[in-house]
Chains A and B, each alone.
Chain A
Amino acid sequence: MNEILLGFSQIFQPLSFLALAFGVLIGLIVGALPGLNDNITLAVLIPITFGMEPEIALPILVGVYVSACYGGSIPAILLNIPGTASSVVTTIDGYQMTLKGEAGKALGISTTSSVFGGIFSSLLLMFLAPFLAKQALRFGPPEYFALAILGFSTVAGMAGKSLTKNLLVCVIGLIFATVGMSPQTGYPRFYFGIDYLLDGIPFIPMLIGLFGVTTILELSETISKEKISKYVLPKINKVLPDFKMVKRLLPTWLISGSIGNVIGILPGAGMIMAIYMSYDQAVRRNKDKEFGTGVPEGVAAPEAANNAVVASSMIPLLSLGVPGNSAAALFIGALMIQGLRPGPSLFKDYPDIAYMILVAFFVGNILMGPMGIMLGKFLSSTLLRVPRQVLSGVIIALCVTGAFAMGNSVFNIWVMIFFGIIGYVFNKLKLPHSPLILAIVLGPMMELNYLQSMVLSKGSPMIFVTRPISLGLLIIALFFFATPFINSLKDNLKRKNSLSG
């Protein structure tokens, strides 16, 4: 406890506090800009922090990491373009709320949910990190494979009535996911002689295309229909949800926050998995509401989950020295350059810095709330009043720059355009985007861990059912896959009964 207080006293030093607030602001802005994300920002900032004292450098980086994924929800809600990959699912109900004139409400829900998720996980980070990190080590290749299967089972839940369409999109996604070198043999697949595709389809440019470019194409349709853009933005009066709403969302926050924390602790599982799983859970628990039409839970679930992943992904890093995701890997670089080794000894050798990092996550999440609301209000009142033709141009420029900035390559822009067209065609055919993204993210994870498991078990698939965690995950996945079918069976039976009765 003393150490935690030490951390607080450090983060409330004027310079450290300012650095943290600065980081949060930067994170919000880059998060809100489609095409820029936390990774690219951290990568740019880390060399700049070389010359700074760790008391200043680290709070900036923590601030960026904490707030970027929340910043991503702002354009997801207002424009249907996720600012970062972590807000992909937020678009589904968030944008519908905006269309219904509830943009302010949606932003408020996203803010409170993010702050809740973030504080939840930063408390775990402060008090339970070593214990949780040990549990995460139980996950080996078979468990990760089972986890990926469980991730796929969310498609069945999210599908609602269009299960066939969702599964079809999922398969298309898996086909895209095979592009690149095989992880176990190094054999290049479907890369058409293009070196850029050897590591798989670049993910961020693809996402920018699917959302950014697709949205602009759709927008251009409405512009030409209406001749003049008369896009009246909803007034944003009241942002913060009232007590009734908080009470309603609390179960969703707790469940999504827990999912986010569990996924965050597991190195390599990733934010995308967490947002899909928590959205899926929200859908399953609220059968009476029609998701995809602007349901508050549909915004609360992914936003609470993605911020819960942020701080908890630092648990394996700070307790074991193992980075949980690419942002955490960048933190290793930042710590090392300051002469700090991540791992248990960090807390022994440099308790002031180590605990300051933990506390910075907590304080950063609190700062994020009011700063985010201000930014959200500012963006919706100024930027979005810009005529849509101009706005489209601005967004396209951001998309192109963002895609190019990932790896300084023009090829990424072609990827963006390609997926922009795919997304547009999907919309015309009323095919959902989200199973595509899920499959592209989970496909390689499933494949890699399947192959690793097979090497370990010398080719026996029994490895997946003889290990308790893996077996448990597979059973849950099976249950999730089966529920839509069971439900429709039940409905049929009911109908028969009512007919005969």
Chain B
Amino acid sequence: MKKVLILCLIFLLVFSISACSGGGASNEKIQNDSKSAEDSKKEVNFPEKDLRIIVPFDPGGAVDVTCRIIAELAPDYLNGKKIIVENMPGGGAVVGQTYVSKANPDGYTILAYTSSVVSNPMTKTTTYTHESFQPVAMYCFDPDVLIVSADSKFKTLKDFLDYSKENEVSINTAGIATAHHIAGMILQNKIDAKFNFIHTTGAGMQIQQILGGHVDAGLLTTGEAQAQIKDGTIRALGLMHDERRQDFPDVPTFKENGVDILYGAWRGLAVPKDTPKEVVDILAKAFEGIIADQRFIDKMTTAGYPIIFRGPQEFTEYVDMEAKNFKQVLPLLQEAQK
């Protein structure tokens, strides 16, 4: 009797699981149908149903929040069709990225496409590379900034650069092989310095270690440290950008100090590689519209996310360039992993 009941329970469990995964399968089938329908008609009628943005991170972060701002405005630009934001965290974004790389290339499954799409395939075993995706639109570029505590001995970027050429400096990042770690390694190469990288779990821990004077400096995006920079508890030494930011006019760029480095977290949207060009163009046009929408600009500005627009062509070129940069520091990274 007992065994029968346990068996029943196991059956119940397995049943509920297959019910969950079954949902996904039938969904794909629908997508297949719509794809064949598209093929038969040459004229592209897109979108005919709601779309999904897969965010490969937990809810509440910068990528999630910005995607939700886009989703909110989407119906006005996509024939009234909605965009549903779905979080698929895990494996440092590998889980969500893998999912979209295998999704139907029909434009209905969109990936929140960020720097990690370049680094993941090079540092982990993945079934995709950044070339498995067709970039559609970049909507945000948040340059990296080098920060120190307000009472640090480094008053200016020059102080820091001079000191670090002679001495070891500890720098914290949001984790190994993140964009910030890469930025640090590129900087290290350019100025011929030696950094001691401390890898944390994210910006919160970085700022805490810097405020407490446990670590000399940190690399993160401007957005992540803006509250402390504006409050004056943290000093921003240099921005890894071509020009100064309007909201931080006092923060100099590395370029002004003779170090040519452009690096930061970019946030964009991409679809699987084989998506028809017409569909990509429709999406790109819709996102361009959203990004120029005053409501989008207002929300992004209040939240402190700098807006940029790069279309499919420019975005692809940008990502290719980043991949090239990454490959240069890859041997260093592998060295560190030993």
| Chain A residues, Cβ within 8 Å of B123 | 186
Interface pick from A377-385, A406-414, A428-436, A479-487: A406-414
Q: Which of the residues A140, A196, A321 comes within 8 Å of B91, measured between beta carbons?
A: A196
Q: A137-B212, A337-B65 are in contact. Are A320 and B207 (CB under 8 A)?
A: yes
Q: B91–A183 contact, CB under 8 A?
A: no
Max chain B Cβ within 10 angstroms of own Cβ: one of A320, A396, A410, A451 = A320
24 cross-chain CB contacts under 8 A: A43-B58, A46-B65, A50-B69, A50-B299, A140-B212, A185-B338, A186-B123, A198-B124, A199-B89, A320-B208, A321-B231, A322-B204, A333-B61, A337-B299, A339-B303, A341-B226, A341-B231, A343-B228, A343-B233, A400-B20, A407-B90, A408-B86, A414-B17, A456-B170
1-33 of chain B: CB within 8 A of chain A? 1-2, 4-6, 9, 12-13, 16-17, 20-21, 24
Q: B228–A410 contact, CB under 8 A?
A: no
Q: From A336, which residue of chain B is reached at the shortest CB distance?
A: B303
Q: B208–A396 contact, CB under 8 A?
A: no
Give per-residue flags for B56-86: 1 if the beta carbon is below 8 A from chain A beta carbons, else 0: 0011110011001100100000000000011
Q: A195–B90 contact, CB under 8 A?
A: yes
* Chain B nearest Cβ from A144, distance in angstroms: 9
Give per-residue flags for B249-277: 1 if the beta carbon is below 8 A from chain A beta carbons, else 0: 00000000000000000000000000000
Total interface residues in chain A, CB < 8 Å: 75
| Chain A residues, Cβ within 8 Å of B24 | 410
9 cross-chain pairs, A with B, having the tightest CB-CB distances, nearest first: A140-B214, A43-B59, A339-B302, A198-B91, A137-B212, A195-B91, A186-B176, A321-B227, A343-B227
Q: B17–A410 contact, CB under 8 A?
A: yes
Interface pick from B182-190, B192-200, B237-245: B192-200
Q: Which of the residues A202, A333, A392, A410 comes within 8 Å of B20, measured between beta carbons?
A: A410
| Chain A residues, Cβ within 8 Å of B200 | 448, 452
Q: Determine whether A141 belongs to the interface, using a CB cutoff of 8 Å to chain B.
A: yes
Q: From B12, which residue of chain A is reached at the shortest CB distance?
A: A396
Q: Determine whether A342 belongs to the interface, using a CB cutoff of 8 Å to chain B.
A: yes
Q: Determine whether B92 belongs to the interface, using a CB cutoff of 8 Å to chain A.
A: yes
Q: Determine whether A330 belongs to the interface, using a CB cutoff of 8 Å to chain B.
A: yes
A187 to B85, CA, bound (A): 31
Q: B68–A198 contact, CB under 8 A?
A: no
Q: Determine whether B205 belongs to the interface, using a CB cutoff of 8 Å to chain A.
A: yes
Q: Which of the residues B2, B68, B196 comes within 8 Å of A224, measured between beta carbons?
A: B2
Interface pick from A95-103, A215-223, A251-259: A215-223
| Chain A residues, Cβ within 8 Å of B124 | 188, 198
A452 to B218, CA, bound (A): 14
| Chain A residues, Cβ within 8 Å of B86 | 408
| Chain B residues, Cβ within 8 Å of A217 | 6, 9
Interface of A is mostly: helix
A198 to B95, CA, bound (A): 9
Q: Determine whether A345 belongs to the interface, using a CB cutoff of 8 Å to chain B.
A: yes
A343 to B225, CA, bound (A): 11
Q: B59–A198 contact, CB under 8 A?
A: no
A446 to B208, CA, bound (A): 17
Q: B336–A185 contact, CB under 8 A?
A: yes
| Chain B residues, Cβ within 8 Å of A225 | 2
* Chain B nearest Cβ from A72, distance in angstroms: 20
Q: Determine whether A387 belongs to the interface, using a CB cutoff of 8 Å to chain B.
A: no
| Chain A residues, Cβ within 8 Å of B338 | 185
Q: Determine whether B177 belongs to the interface, using a CB cutoff of 8 Å to chain A.
A: yes
Q: A409–B88 contact, CB under 8 A?
A: yes
Q: Determine whether A42 belongs to the interface, using a CB cutoff of 8 Å to chain B.
A: yes
Q: Determine whether B98 belongs to the interface, using a CB cutoff of 8 Å to chain A.
A: yes
Q: A186-B123, A217-B9, A409-B95 are in contact. Are A337 and B212 (CB under 8 A)?
A: no
A138 to B59, CA, bound (A): 30
A224 to B212, CA, bound (A): 59
Q: A341–B13 contact, CB under 8 A?
A: no
Total interface residues in chain B, CB < 8 Å: 71
* Chain B nearest Cβ from A188, distance in angstroms: 7
A404 to B1, CA, bound (A): 30
Q: A138-B212, A183-B176, A217-B9 are in contact. Are A408 and B337 (CB under 8 A)?
A: no
Q: Determine whether A367 belongs to the interface, using a CB cutoff of 8 Å to chain B.
A: no
| Chain A residues, Cβ within 8 Å of B132 | none
Q: Which of the residues A196, A323, A341 comes within 8 Å of B204, measured between beta carbons?
A: A323
Binding site for B on A (CB under 8 A): 40, 42-44, 46-47, 50, 136-141, 181, 183-188, 193, 195-199, 202, 213, 216-217, 220-221, 223-225, 267-268, 316, 320-323, 326, 329-330, 333, 336-339, 341-345, 392-393, 396-397, 400, 404, 407-411, 413-414, 417, 448, 451-452, 455-456, 458
| Chain B residues, Cβ within 8 Å of A184 | 176, 199
Q: B87–A408 contact, CB under 8 A?
A: yes
A330 to B68, CA, bound (A): 14
* Chain A nearest Cβ from B4, distance in angstroms: 8
Q: B208–A400 contact, CB under 8 A?
A: no
A342 to B204, CA, bound (A): 12
A476 to B212, CA, bound (A): 23
Q: B90–A141 contact, CB under 8 A?
A: no
Given A181-B92, A341-B304, 8 more contacts at CB 8 Å? A42-B60, A183-B175, A184-B176, A196-B90, A199-B89, A202-B90, A341-B230, A452-B199
| Chain B residues, Cβ within 8 Å of A185 | 176, 336-338
Q: Which of the residues B2, B125, B230 comes within 8 Å of A193, measured between beta carbons?
A: B125
Q: Determine whether B201 belongs to the interface, using a CB cutoff of 8 Å to chain A.
A: yes
A451 to B198, CA, bound (A): 8
210-234 of chain B: CB within 8 A of chain A? 211-215, 226-228, 230-231, 233
Q: From A213, which residue of chain B is reached at the shortest CB distance?
A: B13
Q: Determine whether B209 belongs to the interface, using a CB cutoff of 8 Å to chain A.
A: yes
* Chain A nearest Cβ from B45, distance in angstroms: 29
* Chain A nearest Cβ from B60, distance in angstroms: 4
A425 to B24, CA, bound (A): 33
* Chain A nearest Cβ from B96, distance in angstroms: 9
* Chain B nearest Cβ from A413, distance in angstroms: 5
Max chain B Cβ within 10 angstroms of own Cβ: one of A47, A184, A186, A338 = A186
A407 to B95, CA, bound (A): 10
* Chain B nearest Cβ from A194, distance in angstroms: 8
Q: From A324, which residue of chain B is reached at the shortest CB distance?
A: B204
| Chain B residues, Cβ within 8 Å of A409 | 88, 90, 95
* Chain A nearest Cβ from B29, distance in angstroms: 17
| Chain A residues, Cβ within 8 Å of B64 | 333
* Chain A nearest Cβ from B54, distance in angstroms: 9
Q: Which of the residues B6, B60, B95 comes within 8 Å of A333, measured between beta carbons?
A: B60
Q: A345–B89 contact, CB under 8 A?
A: no
Q: Determine whether B137 belongs to the interface, using a CB cutoff of 8 Å to chain A.
A: no
| Chain A residues, Cβ within 8 Å of B170 | 455-456
Q: Determine whether B110 belongs to the interface, using a CB cutoff of 8 Å to chain A.
A: no
Q: A456–B16 contact, CB under 8 A?
A: no
| Chain B residues, Cβ within 8 Å of A43 | 58-60, 87
Q: Determine whether B53 belongs to the interface, using a CB cutoff of 8 Å to chain A.
A: no
* Chain A nearest Cβ from B33, distance in angstroms: 23
A57 to B9, CA, bound (A): 42
Q: Determine whether B94 belongs to the interface, using a CB cutoff of 8 Å to chain A.
A: yes
Max chain A Cβ within 10 angstroms of own Cβ: one of B60, B98, B213 = B60
Q: A50-B68, A345-B230, A407-B90 are in contact. Are A456 and B214 (CB under 8 A)?
A: yes
| Chain A residues, Cβ within 8 Å of B21 | 410
Give per-residue flags for B95-123: 1 if the beta carbon is below 8 A from chain A beta carbons, else 0: 10010000000000000000000000001
* Chain A nearest Cβ from B171, distance in angstroms: 10
A458 to B169, CA, bound (A): 12
